[in-house]
A and B are shown apart, each in its own frame.
Chain A
Amino acid sequence: MRGNMSTSHHKPIEALDIAKRFGAVTAVAGLSLHLGRGEALGLLGPNGAGKSTALAMLMGLRVPDAGAVRLFGHPPGSAAARAMMGVTPQAAGFPDQLTPRELLSYATARRARAVPFDDVIAAFGLSPVIDRRMAGFSGGEVRRVALALAFLGRPGLVFLDEPTTGLDAEAQQAFRATARGYVQDGGALILTSHHWDEIEAVCDRITMIDKGHKVMDGTLADMRARMQARRISFALPEGAHPPDWLRATHAGDRWHAETDDSDACLRRLVDEGTPFADLIVEPLALPDVIARIKPENRP
């Protein structure tokens, strides 16, 4: 299906030092990133960090003030680049008068070759609403149509700006499965999201930006491997205190601490005869891992 992809040796996305200002606001500053085939990249950052602006420059909706972008070796917005990508906008704004089927058949007619769309209808559970006009669709239903349009025809590269905003748990699950399947089949995907669990389920790599600057970059596997950190928590009898070196904090009925070497830490607690009970050792959640890595990476 990705016919013209195999003939191109260029990466789906190569962006070098792109920047964008709006008047006095620097939305994106000197951002470089690349995305290979069979890879999903998560663009993270607080509101106003510059995620949507960065995505708009990559897609070809905005022209960078500086820097360069290539999509499969082609300039963004060019016919060659557009032929290989799928997009779902942040706010879809579809005409009320149309049905999802009509929109899908319109989108497929814009491609050089028509593609079937039964797969995306099924993937995003659109069958019950496929022939209903979109006036009065719920936010989640509109979102599912937008996602179906992005994956329609399995393009080589898919852009998703906050794809699951407004989706219920079931639809989010369906999205993750579709996105993962797409990436495993060799597709390239870039998404912005606020949901950590979604980034973790879908992405291989993340790039974190803040105030337009890249503050962190890495693969999820690498991040987990590098961070042997664990969170441990336990209960202590009335009046007992954990040793100072553990720097534990008290919350609820329990004591909590983070450690880079949980084995050594526990051996020491046992050696010192700390009367802990009901011990829990768990890996750090992704946001905590990132919070620990970030200061190291700051330029």
Chain B
Amino acid sequence: MTARQLQAELTLVLRVLLRQPGFWVPTVLFPAMLYAFFGAGLAGSGPAAGYAMASFAVYAVLGVGFYQFGVTVAQDRADPFIRWQRLLPGATSAPWVARIVAGVGFSAVAMGLVLVLGKTLGGVVLADTGGWGRLVMITLLAAGPATLMGTALGSLASARAAVPLANLIFLPLAYLGGLWMPPQMLPETVAAISVWTPTRAMGELAWAALDGRSLPLRFAAVLAGWTAFAAAITWAAQARHGKLNFG
């Protein structure tokens, strides 16, 4: 893959996405807006403010993974344009690399907006200023599993069902994972489910990173399990679609 090709792929992907406000307004702006309305004010000051900001940072990254990848992967299946791209000269992997780079870019912007609001509006003050860097790192790492979960969803859902399904899964998952209110405030039954969700695992990792605690292995394992599960679904479904559409 040449740098020239990668640049062309990125330009193509970004042009298509940025010219669709229907894509980037919800994925990039909504997490920051929701944080401003529900996260920043309610958490007060002190450590809770930092946790709330970290939760919405995770929520932002997760949304990009779910919506950009989940939905577009479903819609792209058997898309004549994708078929045509496969026949062009150059590396066939380049369009995918460009998508992932774009996904990480959108994730970073969505998360960055939440952090900026946290510092300004949310009054987040970290005792250990290294926490900012660790939070950015861990949430960007969470973009990997988030993307895989999106592609798993997109591989299973039809193009028409992908958006409603993403909404159906994404919002409850954020709530269950304690991203909208601290896990301690969740009702008992919900709290029991919460510890098994990938969102909770991402949240726990982000909160630990913020504090500079060692990463909770138990939640790292839960997240790794979900990631492997999503990867397996994606792989199996894509192999099946590949046979149907390209075999």
Contacts and interface: CB of A to CB of B under 8 A. Distances in A.
Interface in A87-118: 87, 89-95, 97-98, 102, 105-107, 109-112
A95 B80 CA distance: 10
Contact of A109 (B8, B16, B80): B8
A254 interface: no
Given A79-B89, A93-B79, A110-B89, 10 more contacts: A59-B87, A61-B86, A62-B246, A82-B87, A87-B87, A92-B80, A94-B81, A95-B81, A109-B8, A112-B89
6 contacts: A92-B81, A93-B79, A98-B15, A107-B88, A110-B88, A110-B94
Contacts of A60: 87
B5 interface: yes
B83 interface: yes
Given A62-B246, A109-B4, A102 B15 contact: yes
Nearest to B18: A97
Q: For the complex, would chain A's binding face be called helix, strand, loop or mixed by DSSP majority?
A: loop
Contacts of B94: 110
Interface of B: 4-5, 7-9, 11-12, 15-16, 19-20, 79-81, 83-84, 86-91, 94, 246-247
A77 B91 CA distance: 11
Contact of B16 (A63, A77, A95, A105): A95
A16 interface: no
Interface of A: 59-63, 77, 79, 82-83, 85, 87, 89-95, 97-98, 102, 105-107, 109-112, 133, 149
B160 to A, nearest CB: 16
Nearest to B247: A63
A85 B16 CA distance: 26
Given A109-B8, A110-B89, A97 B19 contact: yes
A13 to B, nearest CB: 14
A111 B247 contact: no
A85 B5 contact: no
A97 B11 CA distance: 12
B174 to A, nearest CB: 29
Contacts of B5: 109-110
Nearest to A153: B89
A12 to B, nearest CB: 15
A93 B89 contact: no
B90 A111 contact: yes
- Interface centre among B9, B16, B19, B88, by most chain A C-beta atoms within 10 angstroms, is B88
A82 B88 contact: yes
B20 A111 contact: no
Contacts of A90: 80
Contacts of A112: 89-90
A62 B90 contact: no
Contacts of B88: 82, 107, 110
A35 B20 CA distance: 43
Contacts of A106: 8-9, 11-12
B238 to A, nearest CB: 16
B84 A98 contact: no
Given A83-B89, A110-B90, A111-B89, A89 B80 contact: yes
Question: What are the nearest 8 A-B pairs in CB distance?
Answer: A109-B8, A97-B19, A93-B80, A110-B90, A83-B89, A110-B88, A93-B81, A87-B87
